[in-house]
Structure 1
């Protein structure tokens, strides 16, 4: 499993890492990691070409289950993908900022 802990992810996020959120739009608008790009899990196969192959991609969902399968799929496609342990829920519980709505700007 390619999984990253919250502390390491927070540091990567602070350095401008690419984050994709594989939840559904209704979940995303309720609160997401600032700057996370929404790519629902069901669309991942058709949008894999939109992701870089020369930089890590951090995958987040609600609790870490969907992101594990998404990261495994992306890794098999040649992308340096990492699932964020605990997902958005752990991010929020740790007191990190959250963006609401469809605005993906950090």
Structure 2
């Protein structure tokens, strides 16, 4: 694991277009929570599936793990950081979705977004 990244830093990466293959945002919540709202461009790999699905991140230039409070994502980042297939840094979103002020994709937004104040956990 290469530490934590703030919500502001992650938003700057997204604004710069880093999600086009180089940046992988891995939301480790269960599928139901993910569907209720997630960071645009993120992918859902639940924590209990990380070990079996880690190869999906082969060649990732940078990985940011996400959970509600930023605690479980630290453990997930440590696990992913130990995997040889991930080429770049592996970081955890500091304070998780609880502190995320950026947009969220939700079913209601139909591909749009809402502000982070309604973050579903």
**Scaled by the length of structure 2, what TM-score is found?**
0.74
* Divergent runs of 4+, >4 A: none
Larger Rg: 2
* CA distance in structure 1 between the aligned counterparts of 2:60 and 2:106, rounded to whole angstroms: 29
| Greater RCO, CA 8 A, separation 6+ | 1
Task: Return the match for 1:84 from 78, 93, 104.
Answer: 93
1:71 maps to 77
Partner SS state of residue 57, structure 1: strand
Say what the alpha-carbon RMSD is for the aligned residues.
1.8
* CA distance in structure 2 between the aligned counterparts of 1:54 and 1:99, rounded to whole angstroms: 22
Q: How many residues align?
A: 100
Partner SS state of residue 19, structure 1: strand
* CA distance in structure 1 between the aligned counterparts of 2:39 and 2:47, rounded to whole angstroms: 16
Q: 1:54 to 1:29 in 2, by over 3 A?
A: closer
**Structure 1: runs of 5 or more not aligned:** none
1:46 maps to 52
**Scaled by the length of structure 1, what TM-score is found?**
0.84
Residues 24 and 60, structure 2, Cα contact 8 Å, conserved in 1: no
**Structure 2: runs of 5 or more not aligned:** 113-121
More helix by share: 1
